Structure 1
Amino acid sequence: MSYLAPVTVIGGHGGYSFSFTGESNRATLKKLWVWVGGWQVKGNKFGKPEGGFSEMEFQDGEQIKLLSLWGNGAGTRLGAIRIRTTSGQEFFPKMTDWGLKTEYPIDVGSGICLGVLGKGGDDIDSLGFVFINTIKSTELIDVYYPTLHQVIPQVATEEIKAVTYTNNTAVPQSYTVESSKTLTKKSSWSVLNKMEATFSFEVKAGIPEVVEATTGFSFTVSTESSYGLENTDERKETFSFPVNVPPGKTVDVKVTIGRATVDLPYMGKVKITCYNGKTLKFNTSGIYKGVTYTNPKNSKRTL
């Protein structure tokens, strides 16, 4: 068993073998050009451009729903291709003089086509489509951010609360500054080849966060957790700080928090698990974008 659906090749036995698939780099079929003749399919994009010509382009996230192939009836050539997609698109190039005979419905697995293979010379002698098998889950794993420690976070300080306490007595007074703010944290990972439109991803990763040290702000990575490709976490946070006011003094207190927009390249692996238990992994990269916050802090000025 394989992570690929069974490949059925239809047509004759002549010609030279060819294989144009994304098995090595996980590229998917994006566009298909087909030339037809009276009794055969003359060529795909790589064939000789003779005879009637038709083309099909797949949109982001569009998958093949149904696929049928025909031989030319003489056992020597490919005769026709019929494709229907999840977006309702239909593509049906066929030989123009000879009628179609036996239809061969093809197992399309997940509907995600990695390319084609077969044999050909002047014409397409035989052709098969390569599909990823039916998919159970797709994960983005082993994520890291190669420039994490080379970038200085740009942090915008936001004031949460400002308050003044005056102690007109002869003894110290203690107060608690309480404040709240709704924080909206965001995180997203872009994926090459618009795969996010094709797969439903679970991201297993830590996310870049901002920390403040004596030397300034820097990035760190949180503990790994599970996310979608795009996430928004909005919640109301409550903060409290103790304030001591000496006798006869006034203390100004300001509570602030830092907000940082994150834009970093990331690298990782895509792991696809099929229902038959087989998996495939391949390297990927993209851009992580997020919004994060520093820990709140309070500053005091005694007058």
Structure 2
Amino acid sequence: MFHLRYLFLACFMCLAATVSQACDEWFLEKKAVAGGSGGNPHFDVMCDGSRVSEIQLWLRHGYVTGLKVRWSKQDADGVFNTTQEKSYGSTNGFATQQILFDPNELITGLTVYPNQNPRRVKQIVFQTSMDRKVSLGVTAGIADGKADANVGTGYPVGVWVRSGTEIDSFGMAFIREPERINLNVDTYPTLKDARPKLKNMTPVCVPVRRNEETTVKLSETRKHVDISKWDWRVGLKLGFKYSGKAGVPSVGETGFEVSAEASFGLGHEWQDNNERTLVAEMTKKFPASTYEDFKAAGRLDSFTEVDENGEPLLNVLVVPSYYEANLDLPYKGTMELVYRDQKKLSWPVSGTYTGVLASTVNITERYVNVCPTNVQN
């Protein structure tokens, strides 16, 4: 019988989603601008999945005269290639400096310092997820009015620049970090959809000794790996891990662990591996009087195989089984990102529930003279 009261269910929802590549300004963090108000304004953001991968500075007379910004994007083979370069100000400085970002490196801190007079950008300081702190520009004579960025997810997609022949002000744009993520599912799998099936575990055969308690331990582990591909337009990282058991202790228990972690980058395609492990365990004890009870009842008289003392061999053959259902079932719903100002970004999603549904372990036992040759001892 399939005992619903002993079911234990866990699902990891494999999402597949696509959102518009339009770059709505409210979707960006862009508050770190420092410097003067001269020059012409530039706001350059790449919304096709590219990220800022390199910034080069030209310096002269204690401030920044020019900037070159490079964007890169991951191709189908996982290689990052330059997608766009833009220059601001002039390149007639007497020194150059640059910062290169690793494809997986996020910006965890950004501070922009102005010069005193004229009001220009003097220094830009980056802190990154790879424990780097990089200062570009001139450190001496920094004026008040620095700007600290709200870096959001740390994924840089653009720059804010005012420039003429010099860099008057500088800031960056990052993908915003959502305050919460809602998944509204419209369709759910049912037990009928899962179609539980009876699964046999590996049989065990052990000897029953005179005046000794006999213990049989059974364990079965099944592993399954789901490989999914994701194509997201938001910077996001999700982690999931759960484990547990269900059943009746000392009679039969089942347990499983589902663990998965997926990283999503703006416009990149990622491969997600979800490993599911089902562990079915039980311990069965037979009393020390079992052998004597069988002998007194004459149930050993027909046994032909004997032990070293000439006593008939008595073995117990235990065959365990349980019900299992794989929940590789489709669903549809809506994914919603909610931000601090309560603005929302939502889009339809579809995917597959993956998990394991298992019942308590059932066993059948049989006493035999000789254990089968293909059974574990």
Match of 2:161 in 1: 118
1:41 aligns with 2:70: no
Counterpart amino acid of residue 13 in structure 1: S
CA contact (8 A) 2:43 2:159 kept: yes
Contact 1:137-1:201 within 8 A present in 2 as well: no
Q: Identify which range, 43-52 or 85-94, moves more after superposition.
A: 43-52
- The match for 1:274 among 310, 333, 339 is 339
Distance 2:154 2:26 in 1: 15
Taking a change above 3 Å as real, the CA distance of residues 182 and 105 of structure 1, as seen in their structure-2 partners, is: closer
Instruction: State percent identity of aligned pairs.
Output: 20
Deviation of 1:200 (Å): 0.8
| SS at 1:200 equivalent | strand
The alpha carbon displacement at 1:139 in A equals 8.4
Distance 1:130 1:233, change over 3 A: same
Equivalent residues in 2 for 1:98-109 (5 A)? 99-102=141-144, 103-109=146-152
Higher Rg: 2
Q: Is the 8 A contact 2:32 2:172 kept in 1?
A: yes
* CA distances 1:249-287 after superposition (whole Å, capped 9, x unpaired): xxxxxxxxxxxxxxxxxxxx986443443334699xxxx
Shift in Å, 1:27? 3.1
- How many pairs does the alignment contain? 199
1:184 is matched with which residue? 224
Q: Distance in 2 between matches of 1:131 and 1:138?
A: 18
User: Is the contact between residue 64 and residue 108 of structure 1 (CA under 8 Å) also seen in structure 2?
Assistant: yes
Note the aligned Cα RMSD (angstroms).
Answer: 4.5
Does the CA contact (< 8 Å) of 2:121 and 2:169 recur in 1? yes
1:263-302 counterparts in 2 under 5 A? 272-280=337-345
TM-score normalised to structure 1 length:
0.51
- 1:86-97 equivalence runs, <5 A: 86-95=129-138
Deviations 1:135-164 (A, max 9, x none): 33568999xxxxxxxxxxxxxxxxx9xxxx
Secondary structure at the aligned position of 1:73 is classed as coil
Residues of 2 paired with 1:281 and 1:43: CA distance? 39
What corresponds to 1:7 in structure 2?
31
Change (3 A) 1:77 1:30: same
Helix, strand or coil: the match of 2:92? Answer: coil
Matched, 1:19 2:62: no
**Quick one: which amino acid aligns to residue 277 of structure 1?**
Q
Is the alpha carbon distance of 1:280 and 1:114 closer, same or farther for their aligned partners in structure 2, counting shifts above 3 Å? farther
In the alignment, residue 274 of structure 1 is paired with which amino acid? Y
1:110, distance to aligned residue in structure 2 (A): 3.1
In the other structure, the counterpart of 2:320 is none
Instruction: Spell out the pairing of 1:108-147 with structure 2 (5 A cutoff).
Output: 108-137=151-180
- Which residue does the alignment assign to 1:296? none
- In structure 2, stretches of 5+ residues that fail to align are 1-24, 69-86, 186-199, 201-219, 241-259, 263-271, 281-333, 355-377
Does structure 2 conserve the Cα–Cα contact (< 8 Å) formed by 1:271 and 1:281?
Answer: yes
In structure 2, C-alpha distance between the alignment counterparts of 1:30 and 1:139, rounded to whole Å: 31
CA distance in 1 between counterparts of 2:175 and 2:28 reads: 5
1:44-71 CA-partner distances (Å, limit 9, x unpaired): 1113333321221222442222211111
Measured in 1, the distance between the counterparts of 2:63 and 2:108 equals: 24
Per the alignment, do residues 122 and 138 of structure 1 end up closer, same or farther by CA in structure 2, a change over 3 Å counting? farther
Q: Distance in 1 between matches of 2:55 and 2:346?
A: 26
Structure-2 residue corresponding to 1:200: 237
SS in 1 for 2:119: coil
Unaligned stretches of 5+ in structure 1?
143-159, 161-179, 204-225, 238-268, 292-303
Does the C-alpha gap of structure 1 residues 33 and 190 become closer, same or farther in structure 2, counting only changes over 3 Å? farther
Indicate how the Cα distance of structure 1 residues 277 and 56 shifts in structure 2: closer, same or farther if over 3 A, else same: same
Partner amino acid, structure 2, of 1:115: G
CA shift in 2, pair 1:29/1:139, >3 Å = farther
Q: How far did residue 232 of structure 1 move?
A: 1.6
Q: Deviation of residue 16 (structure 1)?
A: 2.0
Runs ≥4 in structure 1, deviation > 6 angstroms? 138-142
- 2:107–2:156: 8 Å Cα contact kept in structure 1? yes
**TM-score by structure 2 length?**
0.42
* SS at 2:152 equivalent: coil
- Secondary structure of 2:154 counterpart: coil
Q: Structure 1 residues 95 and 183 mapped into 2: Cα distance closer, same or farther (>3 Å)? A: closer
Q: What do the CA deviations read for 1:203-254 (whole angstroms, capped 9, x no partner)?
A: 9xxxxxxxxxxxxxxxxxxxxxx985331224479xxxxxxxxxxxxxxxxx
How far did 1:78 drift? 1.4
C-alpha distance in structure 2 between counterparts of 1:26 and 1:74, whole Å: 38
